Structure 1
């Protein structure tokens, strides 16, 4: 891309989505696609990888999902189409992908995006952007976690009970069982553990809130007209940095005293605080990413764009390749390498995926599964594929 070329808004969005895929994949590698938690080693590689990407990458996917919804609906309105029903069918297809994926990787996020994506059809009916912003902030405030903390201080048994996702026999099956054993376990115990984690950790409310914020950013053309928001981004970056550092200071300096004074509620209050810290850091990452993209005119960063155009294919493909590498029914290497080695493998593999994606889009219009998704949505095979 030449130095005088104005960055294309879709390349910016696709690059941001590619960055989210990078973060998610590196976390998965260090996490050995969840088998890390059988015998966790919290070394510096783990701390840095999780500190930069964990809790942020999936949240960025949720934000991009809300943004993509707006782009899809906007284009449909420009064509004079009523697209709500088609979008709902599109979500049903995505849910099917997610259900199949969850049988080999318990931590699948497609099911969550698809199921809660139906709420976007309701949020889209809210035409006042300030009201939409207020709703997003309210959802992201983690009120369910705060309510549980209050209930725990009040001595209510359900709030004091150990989180249900702590009971997780499916990982042991993944480490030592056959492929069929793992699939059966993931279809039952694994799903229960995942959904309880998403609910009790506040991630479901985060996803819904970020859907709203993504929709709002689409409406105000935050990514369509990046030059218009240059000064706003700088102010937002300063505020986000201050919020991140301030919340981090509270977590390190004040929270130990709070946890000692309120032991019944420390888990929920700590999780709520951690979620807010992750959101603040996510805001910093997004704003820095856009600023770099603008100043570099898309150079280097735009290499992530092809990844962002085929995230469905790559996200599922990563599990199909790496779960057998780490799991007991395959090579069983989850406990045979250090976190640093797992991270290095992830970095090298992601670089190869970047090369593959760039090559692919020189010959094809869509990624393989993206084409299937589009064709199934339109209920026709008359969708261009090969260039």
Structure 2
């Protein structure tokens, strides 16, 4: 039988479960529309209100919201695991054990990206984790200094991104070329054979990796914030920091939420008219790099501020999902490939965007009871058990 969870662990695991489903909500579009600037494809002007709402909802409330939560919790999990390992084996042995853990994750990420899902995030987590491992044992002052440095790096990269986007958005025929790329990617992923899809996936995976120079610094900052949240007790003892979490929630609701709604509006508008001006969309995208994680922080705050009775109900549904997050993440890629690609059922070629959201809900409603059933009989998910076996091999 699965081990009973403390209230603290259940709260964190439930938050991780929410992140797994939020990540799926964004990843699903890539299985249909590929790795293009038009994440939601080219939306026909005659699209139904349901289809338009599906794009708006995903862009406004999910895009750039859930990978930050997962990265934040990865950093928190890192410091909790390192503390436990260090108490048992000392710092040097703890680092050696965690290094094996990251090596396994890196290999799994590369295989996942090449064989199942080009948008794999495990590779970036593993590479950033090796850097974070060098911070193991740092006191709060050391972590605070690292946070300041990564903030400065991310600010510089954000300015560079703004310059690049301003140049690209002003190029002639940029929108037309982007629309053509999106339509071609959609045709390959939903109608192409296994070889066509595999070659497209590997190409897109290479493009994904080529963007790590921008992405990894963001992950590093989120990891460090997760470490800080444990060191300062913000995550592990939220009842002692309710004032902090209320400030985070209010900032998310009154500042980040309107900016994310604006991004959703612009994302839908550009998908409807990709050959029009994209300057407003790119400006909203740039702001999303900050406003997205800020709204993610508000989501975390809701979980930290929730009362015990309400959280117990949420945790009953989501905590088992979070306890086997890696298994669920990989199962989602298998399911999306089988359901949406042409070498499987090929549903991506016929499903509307509203129906794609319904499919997302179906996967969620399948994984919740499966996770509860599995965790009632085991201490870990199947992939987590394999991961642990490699990590602690002698």
TM-score, structure 2 normalization: 0.79
TM-superposed deviation, 1:364: 1.1
Is 1:204–2:216 an aligned residue pair?
yes
Residue 364 of structure 2: aligned partner: 350
2:195 aligned residue (171, 175, 180):
180
Instruction: Please list the CA deviations of residues 110-161 of structure 1 after superposition, one character each: whole Å capped at 9, or x if unmatched.
Output: 11111121111133354214324423533443x21303545788x8x9x989
Deviates more, 1:121-130 or 1:263-272: 263-272
- Inter-CA distance 198–53: structure 2 relative to 1 (3 Å threshold): farther
d(CA) in 2 for partners of 1:327 and 1:251?
29
Residue 104 of structure 2: aligned partner: 93
TM-superposed deviation, 1:250: 9.2
Residue 376 of structure 2: aligned partner: 362
d(CA) in 2 for partners of 1:297 and 1:250?
30
Q: Which runs of 5+ in 2 are unaligned?
A: 45-50, 265-276
- Inter-CA distance 250–140: structure 2 relative to 1 (3 Å threshold): farther
d(CA) in 1 for partners of 2:261 and 2:32?
31
Residue 71 of structure 2: aligned partner: 62
- Inter-CA distance 300–249: structure 2 relative to 1 (3 Å threshold): closer
Is 1:146–2:159 an aligned residue pair?
yes
Instruction: Please list the CA deviations of residues 43-77 of structure 1 after superposition, one character each: whole Å capped at 9, or x if unmatched.
Output: 11111123111211112111111111111101112
- Inter-CA distance 137–197: structure 2 relative to 1 (3 Å threshold): closer
d(CA) in 2 for partners of 1:324 and 1:264?
34
- Inter-CA distance 353–273: structure 2 relative to 1 (3 Å threshold): same
2:191–2:342 contact (8 Å) kept in structure 1: yes
d(CA) in 1 for partners of 2:43 and 2:206?
22
d(CA) in 2 for partners of 1:134 and 1:57?
23
TM-superposed deviation, 1:176: 3.1
Residue 21 of structure 1: aligned partner: 20
- Inter-CA distance 232–145: structure 2 relative to 1 (3 Å threshold): closer
CA RMSD of aligned residues (A): 3.4
Equivalent residues, number: 359
d(CA) in 1 for partners of 2:361 and 2:164?
44
2:15–2:318 contact (8 Å) kept in structure 1: yes
2:236 aligned residue (224, 231, 243):
224
Which protein has greater RCO, CA pairs closer than 8 Å, 6+ apart?
A: 2
1:23–1:53 contact (8 Å) kept in structure 2: yes
1:38–1:172 contact (8 Å) kept in structure 2: no
- Inter-CA distance 335–56: structure 2 relative to 1 (3 Å threshold): same
2:162–2:286 contact (8 Å) kept in structure 1: no
Residue 295 of structure 2: aligned partner: 281
1:30–1:343 contact (8 Å) kept in structure 2: no
TM-score, structure 1 normalization: 0.81
